[in-house]
Amino acid sequence: MTATYQTDCLDISYNGWANYETWNVALWLQNDEGLYNIACESGTYESFKDCMKEVFNKYNTPDGVRYNDPKVNVVQINSEVFDF
């Protein structure tokens, strides 16, 4: 039996993302072909959110995280997901 310990007690990230909300949005954008294609066409997360709201009338990820949730780290999403 092996044990795994957290080595950095100050690490409060969620799987390398700023928090759960940012991770969840990134997860869907990177793993759902339809959302990924919309993201590619949008170019930035801000444009993606507007498109989802106005064109598709969708406000949440399939897990229920709002695209405009203030906890979503837009800077990290733009640099990690929209860096095509």
Q: Which two tokens stand for residue 23?
A: 């991770």
Q: 3 pLDDT exceeds 90?
A: no
pLDDT in tens, 9-22: 555 689 999 999 99
Can you tell me the distance from the alpha carbon of 21 to that of 2, in angstroms, rounded to the nearest whole number?
31
Phi, psi at residue 61, to the nearest 5°?
Answer: -70, 165
Based on its alpha-carbon atoms, the radius of gyration of the chain, rounded to whole angstroms, reads 15
Can you tell me the distance from the alpha carbon of 74 to that of 55, in angstroms, rounded to the nearest whole number?
21
Q: Where are the domains of the chain?
A: 20-80
The pTM assigned to this predicted structure is 0.82
Q: Are 20 and 64 in contact (CB under 8 A)?
A: no
In single-letter form, the type of residue at position 17 comes to W
